[in-house]
Chain A
């Protein structure tokens, strides 16, 4: 059992190892003894991390370790059976998925979940819904507030799409985009909700090396531009080791190691989780 003090991503006396720029700020996100069991099976237990305000961190581990389940807990797709999630210091216990997003957590999905029949632009605009104010009636009657907010939404959507050079695809149906572009659109859509924390679930899956390299740059760029925290699940170790400042390794629903990329690379427990235990002679 970990104690409450160990909730910081980077091991003790690790508060100092949250990136220097985030020193004097409270963590953007904190999980304390988070856990969920599906009918007796503990999919995640004793999950403790803290994310610095502008930190890029990685969540890695073998398939089935419970990484995506953590994302589902953070976004309340699943209701945690144990523990607490503190977002900006506030408990998210009573919030729904939509409210958690409005409070600042945005995510992408491992198995892409775009609005297939909507255009790229509309996919992004949907994500701005909770920031738009005009009423249903103003929409039906086409009052000035409708025109004004729609124009602003379009401009912002185009701006966000331009991060990934996707503004020319604005009128394409999301379902007919190539795979890599669909993954990028998911990130743009998440960013359109104006988050403070971005959760990326295998953003580089299925991408070729050059696409991955570009993605890596874009992720850092997004962090620098919007000053947000990013937590990403990824199997591409090159990407993880290059852009993450802190890494947590999961296996069988538990965190087995936390630290900086170099610490993780040297950690025997991590090597064992990935490569299996060496046969005792």
Chain B
């Protein structure tokens, strides 16, 4: 098989991305084991991993497929709540089970439930396009938030008990209320750690890169570039769109479970519209279809508000101004021309949404 210039460039970018993540992990993990790390940063390691997974998975929808999604946090939420519920039930149901196994079961459960939610939201995709689809994803995120805010789930010797709006779980003696409506989940064992986050990031990158370099990825990008032409060469647009929404949601669900098990309590309002937007900002600033960019943007912008702590109350203001200025600068024709001149090999890399 002939090696090609472009394939080798794609491979180089993928390799750099893997290498960056691995090196960052080794450095951070050694800092953690030697105790040589600020507690603020240590507390952010798992969220950074979760947000990287969120950004990369959203980039699959927004950058590679070209459909705007404003409800990605909804999938994170589904994953967080189902994942933690599964892990907690396991903790109470099977005494002495290893934490890593609970974490794994939690993340897999979160991914599966989020995938189902992704498939559900994928159905409107069959009929809607562009801004109308975006608004449906927004609505979906809000619905999920609202439903989880009113969901009560308990676990006792007879298994799970669900109720909506008020606590009617009627648990048996020794039972445990896991999700308590607007109170969310409390008493979570903090079993997430950097290694689990690192593995999830690597799995996400492998899945996304391998999809992009397969028949599915080509078809998905073809749909983005020209839907009618894609249909005219026999591409089943519906199937591929559903695939993307499902995979993207599953990854977000796993990230949600990972994220949630880094805290002792978690509430549905944490995963609201603003969180969806935050992840979208990572994707756009990192570059559409540019996974390396998403990784860097997610990590940098999760740390940035902390780094801006010295500005205390001005930090979100600074964040907003930086965001606007970056968008104005990157879309300034004169500046773009200059960047293109400096990097001749990279022109046309930027893609339309």
Interface residues of A (CB under 8 A from B): 75, 77, 96-99, 101-102, 106-107, 109, 113-119, 121-123, 125-130, 132, 134, 136, 139-142, 146, 149-151, 153-154, 170-171, 173, 175-176, 189-190, 192-193
Q: How many Å lie between the Cα of A145 and that of B2 in the bound state?
A: 19
A-B contact count (CB 8 A): 117
Instruction: Check B214 against A139 for contact (C-beta < 8 Å).
Output: yes
Instruction: Check A176 against B348 for contact (C-beta < 8 Å).
Output: yes
Minimum Cβ distance to chain A for residue B248 (Å)? 13
Residue picked from B2, B229, B232, most chain A C-beta under 10 Å: B232
Chain B, residue nearest A122 (CB): B218
Instruction: Check A116 against B225 for contact (C-beta < 8 Å).
Output: yes
Instruction: Check B215 against A116 for contact (C-beta < 8 Å).
Output: no
Chain B residues whose C-beta falls within 8 Å of the C-beta of A141 in the assembled complex? 210
**Given A118-B222, A175-B348, residue A98 in contact with residue B231 (CB < 8 A):** yes
Chain B residues whose C-beta falls within 8 Å of the C-beta of A140 in the assembled complex? 206-207, 210-211, 214
Minimum Cβ distance to chain A for residue B192 (Å)? 24
Minimum Cβ distance to chain B for residue A216 (Å)? 24
Instruction: Check A129 against B234 for contact (C-beta < 8 Å).
Output: yes
Q: How many Å lie between the Cα of A5 and that of B224 in the bound state?
A: 44
**Given A113-B228, A127-B234, A175-B348, residue A136 in contact with residue B218 (CB < 8 A):** no
Of the candidates B5, B215, B226, B231, the one whose C-beta lies within 8 Å of that of A97 is B231
Asked if B342 CB lies within 8 Å of chain A CBs, one says: no
Instruction: Check A126 against B218 for contact (C-beta < 8 Å).
Output: yes
Q: How many Å lie between the Cα of A113 and that of B6 in the bound state?
A: 22
Q: How many Å lie between the Cα of A114 and that of B230 in the bound state?
A: 9
Q: How many Å lie between the Cα of A99 and that of B232 in the bound state?
A: 9
Instruction: Check B216 against A139 for contact (C-beta < 8 Å).
Output: yes
Instruction: Check A126 against B219 for contact (C-beta < 8 Å).
Output: yes
Instruction: Check B234 against A193 for contact (C-beta < 8 Å).
Output: yes
Chain A residues whose C-beta falls within 8 Å of the C-beta of B351 in the assembled complex? 117
Asked if B338 CB lies within 8 Å of chain A CBs, one says: no
Of the candidates A109, A119, A125, A153, the one whose C-beta lies within 8 Å of that of B229 is A109
Instruction: Check B211 against A119 for contact (C-beta < 8 Å).
Output: no
For this complex, 7 residue pairs linking A to B, each with C-beta atoms less than 8 Å apart, are: A97-B231, A116-B225, A116-B226, A118-B221, A129-B215, A134-B214, A136-B243
Q: How many Å lie between the Cα of A77 and that of B228 in the bound state?
A: 8
Chain B, residue nearest A199 (CB): B232
Q: How many Å lie between the Cα of A11 and that of B216 in the bound state?
A: 46
Q: How many Å lie between the Cα of A199 and that of B217 in the bound state?
A: 27
Chain A residues whose C-beta falls within 8 Å of the C-beta of B235 in the assembled complex? 98, 126, 129-130
Minimum Cβ distance to chain B for residue A99 (Å)? 8
- Nearest first, the 3 A-B pairs at minimum CB distance are A139-B214, A113-B229, A130-B234
Asked if B237 CB lies within 8 Å of chain A CBs, one says: yes
Known: A118-B222, A129-B233, A141-B210. 7 other contacts (CB 8 A): A98-B235, A106-B233, A114-B229, A126-B230, A127-B233, A129-B215, A154-B1
Chain A residues whose C-beta falls within 8 Å of the C-beta of B221 in the assembled complex? 115, 117-118, 122
Chain A, residue nearest B10 (CB): A119
Asked if B4 CB lies within 8 Å of chain A CBs, one says: yes
Of the candidates B211, B214, B225, B234, the one whose C-beta lies within 8 Å of that of A118 is B225
Chain B, residue nearest A151 (CB): B1
Residue picked from B218, B221, B233, B237, most chain A C-beta under 10 Å: B233
Q: How many Å lie between the Cα of A113 and that of B216 in the bound state?
A: 20
Asked if B236 CB lies within 8 Å of chain A CBs, one says: yes
Chain A residues whose C-beta falls within 8 Å of the C-beta of B229 in the assembled complex? 109, 113-115
Instruction: Check B233 against A101 for contact (C-beta < 8 Å).
Output: yes
Chain B residues whose C-beta falls within 8 Å of the C-beta of A129 in the assembled complex? 215, 218-219, 233-235
Instruction: Check A125 against B225 for contact (C-beta < 8 Å).
Output: no
Instruction: Check B218 against A118 for contact (C-beta < 8 Å).
Output: yes
